[in-house]
Structure formats: C-alpha cells, structure tokens
Amino acid sequence: MSNKFFGGVHPAEHKDLTEHKATVPLAEAPAQVVIPMVMHVGAPCKPVVVVGDQVKVGQLIGETTGLGAPIHASVSGTVKAVEPRLCGYGNVMSVVIDNDFKDTEDESIKTRDNVGGLSGAEIIEIVKNAGIVGMGGAGFPTHVKLSGAVGKVDTLILNGAECEPYITADHRLMLERGEAVVGGARLLAKAVGLQEAIIAVEENKPDAIENLKKVAGAEGGVRVEGLKVRYPQGAEKQLIQRLTGRQVPPGKLPADVKCLVCNVATAAAVYDAVTQGRPLTKRSLTLTGGALSEPMNVEAPVGTPLSHLIKLAGGFKADPDRVLFGGPMMGTAAYDLDMPMLKNTNCVLSMTKDEVAAVDPAQTCIRCGKCVEVCPMKLTPLFMRANANKNNWDALEELHVMDCIECGCCSYICPARIPLVQTFRMAKTELRKQAAAKKAKEGGKA
C-alpha cells in the first residue's frame, strides 16, 4: 500500500452537510417521471411501449440496439408520452410516465433461490437484463465491462473512495447496505472468475471501513482497504495505480493491466438484481450545497425531475449560482430544473455564489506550471489550452488531450481561474467529430 498516483489536490470536502444523514426514501413520489432512452455509454435504447400503455415498476420500456443497457419503468402508471426530452445527454427520446402511486411491480421481480449455484456467465446475463451501468458517473454498461474482463483480469477493485467534495451517497450506502455492497463484490468476483475483491475506501470514512470489514468478516473473498485522502483517487486509473502500482498506458483500459474497477453502488445494484430480480430503477443520491434548505441523502426513482428533488429538500434558501449533476470538480450544469435524474446521477449540487470561486475576467495564464504538477495523467494543460485556443487539433492529439479524465484538478489549482476542463471537453468533442467524419468518408470511398 505504499503506491502513489501522480498529481492530485486536496479540495475542501464540504461533506459535513450530509455525511451523518441517513438515506431516506422520497417523502413524496414524483407525479411524473421522464426516462431517457440514453442513460449509458453507447447507442440509445429503442422504446418498446407506446402512449396509453400501462406499465409496472421494473417493466422493460427500452431495449438495446447495440452497445448499451436496457431501461425499465421506475414507477407504475400510464405512458403519457414517447418523445424527445431534455436530459444530461441532450435532447433525447424519452418515455414519460404518469405515476399511479401504486408501485405495482412487474411479475419478473422475485427472489432468486439458487444464487450460490449461478455460473459467472449467468450472473453477467442477469446484470445485462437488469440494465445496470456504472453508477459512479461514467454510465458504462456493466455487463460489457464484465464480459470483457473474463479471463483477462487478476484484480477486482470496488471503488468506495468517493473523493469528490460534497457527495456522500456512497458513504451512506456502505454504512446502511454493507451486506449488499459486500455481497455484490462477491458476485462480481465470481462473474469474472476471481476469488477475491478489494473494496477501497478513503480514510475520511472510518465508519464505512469498519462496517464493511465487519460485514466481510472471516468468510473471505472481500478485502477492505483504507486509502489516504487525495483527489481524484476515485478515478479508476488512479485507484489502480494506488492499490497495485500498475499504470494504465495512454489509450488503454484497466483490463490491459489485468484490473477491473466497479463502483460500490454498482455492486449493490448487482446484488439486488441477482438475489431479488430487481432491475436498476432507483438509486441513492446526495442533494446538497449551500443554496439548498435541507441537504440530504435520498433514494429516488430514475427519471425524477430535479425540481421535485429540490422541493423535497426544502427548496432553495438562497439563489443558486449554479446547479450541477455531480460534484464541483467534475459535475455538469443542469440548465433546466425539469431535467431528470439518471441511473448515474449520484449528486445534485446547488451552489451559492460564495461557494463558487470568482473567475478572473482577464483569465491570463501566468505559466506557473501548477496545472502540470497536479495533473494525475501527467499531461500539460497550459500547452493543451494554448493549442485549443488556436484550433491546433493535430498538436492537441500529440499532447494526448484525449487522455484527460476531466477531473478538474488543473482548473482548481489555476491562480487565474481559467476554465481548463471546459476547454478540453470542447476540444475532445471536436476531435471525436473529426474522427467520425474521417471514418464516414473512408467508408464511403470503400
């Protein structure tokens, strides 16, 4: 455990707002949910319901058309619309359901008696049918990640670091549902043919570490490791380097260094799917920030509008400067409060102007090099920005901008408060467009 990862910072945690508050179900269910057909990395799902259909909790409403994960109804009721709606992935086809408040469950949801007799392949198939994706923010289909790891990995890491400021949903999950986290870890290990899983938790959560160790007990198969606090330790490449000393090469995946990383919330979802037949239709998330009246941790149906969540958290006590999906370092703007929470929404952060660092209008780089010192990917943000501003796309590729994990360390440390991460996100989007256009052109010639 003497390994370290490159760079990183120590931002103020602000977890005291919710870390001691138990996760509670919504005091009032939403009257309507909006369930986008894109809540994962990959192709959009195809709706399999039409307006007027009656649906039940856990019923399939979107089937995969390629890389992706199926989508299920999170409430029971009537399909009000099947149309494009705004969400964190843009304006995408969505299924809108009017809640009948009966919570009638689909007949497919039932306790499984033969869990111990399931093969690894059978576990992966259950995970696939349950629509489980990475719940730490990435949204990569879990069954695809597991299938690609079989026979190729020797280390399974469960990410309980939760290093992003403000967010405490995973902390509370590890305290309140330790059996599901540990049980899910064992199922994930079995799915990929391993005998052990490591659950990694930062040491600012000593109660979670103690609880998981107690649950894991002497049965074996799960080891809990405490980690010194440092952001962005929860990024999978940094977590791998910290725990194993292995470095994932540029452009490569964890499987290339024989590692598999899953979030603890993903593990709990796997446990629920395998033992109870429950697809991913709800999740725990943190509602927090200085603009919010009653910060809390809640469990809510996927598709719940942000406006409803904020209302149940007491509404705004101050005008929010911004509302984010996620934390202050890697979160993305929620520019419409009618946008729904998704499978990978672990936090809704409402920040006051005082919480948001002032931006220098001049935004002049003084070439201090601090951004280079803290970059966990050993990149050169100041040169990347300079070339992005000049649209030097070839130079950006040579500087490995696509390896940027968008952790925000460079923006955080920059004395000029230059929005570096936003610049790199736009540059990466442009490079992806150019690559897609080139591929299409070459395909047309063929």
Tokens 């955080």 appear where?
412
Model pTM score:
0.91
Q: Are 160 and 177 a contacting pair, CB within 8 Å? A: no
Q: Residue 201's pLDDT is what? A: 97
Annotated domain spans of the chain = 110-276, 370-445
- The topology under which CATH files domain 110-276 is Rossmann fold (3.40.50)
Among residues 36, 250, 253, 271, which one has the least CA distance to residue 144?
253
pLDDT per residue rounded down to tens, the chain (446 residues): 457 888 899 999 999 999 999 999 999 999 999 999 999 988 899 999 999 999 999 999 999 988 899 999 999 999 999 999 999 888 999 999 999 999 999 999 999 998 999 999 999 999 999 999 999 877 899 999 999 999 999 999 999 999 999 999 999 999 999 999 999 999 999 999 999 999 999 999 999 999 999 999 977 899 999 999 999 999 999 999 999 999 999 888 899 999 999 999 999 999 999 999 999 999 999 999 999 999 999 999 999 999 999 999 999 999 999 999 999 999 999 989 999 999 999 999 999 998 886 555 557 888 899 999 999 999 999 999 999 999 999 999 999 999 999 999 999 999 888 889 989 999 999 999 998 888 887 776 65
Complete DSSP assignment for 28-80: S--SEEEEES--SSSSPPEE---TT-EE-BT-EEEE-SSSS--EE-SS-EEEE
Q: Are the C-beta atoms of residues 78 and 53 closer than 8 Å to each other?
A: yes
User: Nearest-CA neighbor of 381 among 392, 370, 391, 390?
Assistant: 370
- At residue 419, the pLDDT reads 87
What is the length of the chain? 446
